[in-house]
Amino acid sequence: MISSNSYNDTFKNLRINKDTRVICQGFTGKQGTFHSQQAIEYGTKLVGGVSPKKGGITHLGLPVFNTVAEAARELKPDASVIYVPPNFAATAIIDAIHAEIPLVVTITEGIPQQDMVKVVKVLKSQNKTRLIGPNCPGIIAPGGCKIGIMPGHIHKVGKVGIVSRSGTLTYEAVNQTTQVNLGQTLCVGIGGDPFNGTNFIDCLKVFLEDEDTKGIILIGEIGGSAEEEAAEFLKEHNLTRSQPKPVVSFIAGLTAPPGRRMGHAGAIIAGGKGTAGDKITALENAGVVVSRSPARLGITLREEMEKAGLA
């Protein structure tokens, strides 16, 4: 009998490092090829890929398989990165789950919501595979393993864990923490889709448990309640530590005008929550320092870490 928390436990699979072996689904496509080259240049241990009907050839000097199942059997990868187009991506994710690949990172944007609802059901009924995304820039352990489309050169090995809903804002946070000489341990872009595999809390669990991570940056935005839930989690698990880890956050959309509403059901379900103001209050109550400017994340975290004697 699988317990209902079993998918949650797979958050440990987020801990990638220089030894993480990665395969690429959609390997021979334009995106797959370009980003695989970039990954190899960065030093990621890419070991092969999947491209239906092209099994048996080599691509970028690596073996290509027809299916994820075959690739998994032969290569025993720790992770798979998916660059498959949106009309086939959900199937690709499910294939990877069936092959029990420990970490699946789906970069693809534009997967129909309904398809992802079905994927999430499969995901949550098992405890071997952790999904990040879809519609996300990926995950990177600087100096070790880059799985995704982020520009490697702005990263620096260091002490900060970064988790973000927004792709390009992640790069701002990375750039700033590199410039103030903090560097990063692990950066996760969880993506902007409403139905996805990993949320803030999953990443915060990793950051709190990881000894090398001394500070945390969380980037959220208006809509949904992920930030409020993260705040609750931090209250319970970070503030109660003998030495809470400094957390700095930015919530995009504070000054955005109210969104155009298409029908009321969504608003009813949200119960009036989800504004930037609500999120900021919730996070501040959990001891998080919320920067009002996206340009001051690095500096603010540096200050907090110096105060705590961690930088």
Partner 1 sequence: LSKGHQKRNLAIHEYLSMELLNQYGVNTPKGGVARTPQEAFEVAKKLGTEDAVIKAQVLAGGRGKGVFESGLKGGVRPIFSPTEAEKFAKQMLGHKLITKQTGSAGKICNSVYIVERKFVRREYYFAILQDRKTQGPVIVASSQGGVDIESVAAENPDAILTLGVDINVGLKKDDALSLAEKLGFSPKIRDEAADMMQKLYKLFIDKDCTQVEINPMAESVEHEVLCMDAKLNFDDNSEFRQKDIFALRDTSQEDPREVAAAKYNLNYIGLEGRIGLNGAGLAMSTMDIIKLHGGEPANFLDVGGGATAEQVTEAFKIISSDPQVTAILVNIFGGIMRCDIIAQGIIQATSQLSLTIPVIVRLQGTEVNAAKKLIAESGLRIISVDDLDEAASKSVQLSKIVDIAREANIRVSFELPI
210 close to 161: Cβ distance less than 8 angstroms: yes
Rounded Cα gap, residues 62 and 49, in angstroms: 7
Nearer to partner 1 by Cβ, of 164 and 177: the residue is 164
Q: How far apart are CA 232 and CA 244, in angstroms?
A: 14
CA distance 219 to 169: 8
Site string for partner 1, 239-278 (x = CB under 8 A): -----------x-xxxxxxxxxxxxxxxxxx-xx------
The contacts of residue 272 (CB under 8 Å, 6+ apart) are: none
> Could you say which of 294, 303, 308, 310 contacts partner 1 (CB under 8 A)?
294
User: Judged by CB, which is closer to partner 1: 43, or 112?
Assistant: 112
From 84, 111, 136, 230, residue interacting with partner 1 (rule: CB under 8 A)? 111
Q: Counting contacts by CB under 8 A, is residue 154 touching partner 1?
A: yes
Q: Which of 14, 79, 186, 193 binds partner 1 (CB under 8 A)?
A: 193
Q: DSSP state, 248?
A: E
Report yes or no: 212 and 141 within 8 Å, Cβ to Cβ.
no
In the complex with partner 1, which residue's Cβ is closer, 271 or 309? 271
Among 7, 11, 42, 171, indicate the residue that binds partner 1 (CB under 8 A): 171
Among 17, 18, 34, 57, binds partner 1 (CB under 8 A): 34
In the structure encoding, which two tokens stand for residue 232, read together? Answer: 């609750």
Strands (E), 41-183: 45-50, 58-59, 62-65, 79-82, 103-106, 130-132, 138-141, 145-148, 157-164
Residue labelled with tokens 């519609």: 135
Residue 154 labelled as part of a binding site: no
In the set 70, 109, 210, 278, which binds partner 1 (CB under 8 A)? 109
Point out which span in 53-61, 73-81, 117-125, 301-309 binds partner 1 (CB under 8 A): 117-125
Q: Is 222 in the site for partner 1 (CB under 8 A)?
A: yes
The annotation status of 20 as a binding-site residue, yes or no, is no
| CA distance readout (Å), 103 to 58, 99, 121, 202 | 23, 11, 17, 13
Q: Which residues are catalytic?
A: 264
Q: How far is the CB of 295 from partner 1 (least distance, A)?
A: 4
Residue 49 · residue 62 · CB < 8 Å: yes
- Cis check for the bond before 142: say yes or no (omega within 30 of 0): no
What is the rounded CA–CA span in Å between residue 75 and residue 49?
10
17, 114, 181, 285: residue in contact with partner 1 (rule CB under 8 A): 114
118 binds partner 1 (CB under 8 A): yes
Q: Is 171 annotated as a binding residue?
A: yes
- Shortest spacing between CB 74 and partner 1, in angstroms: 30
User: Residues 101, 77: contact at Cβ < 8 Å?
Assistant: yes
> Hey, what are 293's tokens?
């400017």
C-alpha–C-alpha distance, residues 230 and 201, integer Å: 5
- 7 labeled binding residue: no
Identity of the residue, 240 or 293, whose beta carbon is nearer to partner 1 in the bound complex: 293
How far apart are CB 252 and partner 1 at their closest, in Å? 4
Q: Which residues are annotated as a binding site for substrate?
A: 171
Which residues contact partner 1 by CB under 8 A? 34-35, 86-87, 109-114, 117-118, 120-121, 124, 135, 137, 149-151, 153-154, 164-169, 171-172, 175, 192-195, 219, 221-225, 250, 252-269, 271-272, 292-296
